[in-house]
Amino acid sequence: MQVGRVAVVLLMAMMSIGVAAAANQAPNSSARQADQAIDVRDALGRQVHLPAAPQRIVTIFSSNTELVTALGLTDRIVGVEAYTSYPPEVVDKPKVGGRLGFSVDAVVAQRPDLVIVTPARQAAHQLVDPMERLGIPIIVLLGRSVGEILSNIRLIAAAGGVPERGEVLAQQLEQRLLRVQEKVAKRAHPRMVMITGKLGNGMLLAARPNTYTGEAMVLAGGRFALEGMGALAQVSPEAILASDPDVLLFAGSQADLDALVVQPGWRDMQAVRQGKAIVVSRSEFLIPGPRTIDGIEKLAAWLHP
């Protein structure tokens, strides 16, 4: 069906991106000794030079920490941001900032030879220029799609001096995604809404197209019930109720979902009446990293048993 073909096209596109990313890093990321220089290009197109494979890495945001740990480099992490809680081995690492901002002094105090950031909560704005002035290599990553997650794996592996690990991991994840696509391609794709949060004004946050979360929903064998969502994730409860999805996904706790679906209007939603309102893992769908593929597999198995 058409949605299945779209998912296959998305997957092939992300694999092409990964191959291209690997090719872009190849001249500088072949097997090397730890003391050899490494040059990579980050998501902002910046050329980043590392005199040697980094041994003291500060990772800003959970997504970047998970990329480094998935490559077997947990022991090189010397600093994280305050809301990083996975894997357990990094929980007690020194904190270099959090919701209110990031401290240049706290980063520098860890004596890093690489800092990895994402341009959220002003992290890149606050840290890139100071790190460049101090001569500390800093890489900026983006995670706007599943394809970029795979590219980031290859990029950080190259920067860490372990390109082969990155290629092996990325290919394993790509093969898992291909198996999901083979399974769901000819199935009926239900109309879905994923609620990812709630604002103080009563508006809800929902997964939308052109994001890694929205793409993960499509790759798992679903399609969007909400039509015409733009760049903003905000949506009114009334709009979700009017869309009457086949499946309601809730990235939160079971208790919060239970409290929502007993409210007037929600309890009459098709998905709720048919027992198809379920909780999905925030860590798998809201943190762009290797665990996103875990979430896609689990959701695909539930949608298409």
Domains of the chain and any CATH numbers: 2-176 (3.40.50.1980), 187-303 (3.40.50.1980)
Rounded distance, CA 177 to CA 214, Å?
Answer: 15
Nearest of 100, 103, 84 to residue 92 by alpha carbon = 84
Residues 116 and 64: beta-carbon distance below 8 Å: yes
Chain-centroid distance, C-alpha 77: 19
pLDDT for the residue 120: 80
Query: In the chain, which residues have pLDDT < 70?
Result: 1-34, 231-232
In our burial notation (b when 16+ CB lie closer than 10 A, e otherwise), range 69-98 reads: bbbebeebbbbbbeebeeeeebeebeebbe
DSSP tag of 61? S
The model scores a pTM over 0.75: yes
Tokens of residue 179, six digits? 């198996």
Dump the DSSP string for 238-285. HHHHHH--SEEEESS-HHHHHHHHTSTTGGGSHHHHTT-EEE--HHHH
Residues 299 and 271: beta-carbon distance below 8 Å: no
The contacts of residue 220 (CB under 8 Å, 6+ apart) are 180, 184, 295, 296, 297, 299, 300, 303
Of the CA atoms within 13 Å of residue 85, those in its CB half-sphere come to 4
Residues 279 and 257: beta-carbon distance below 8 Å: yes
pLDDT for the residue 114: 98
pLDDT for the residue 207: 95
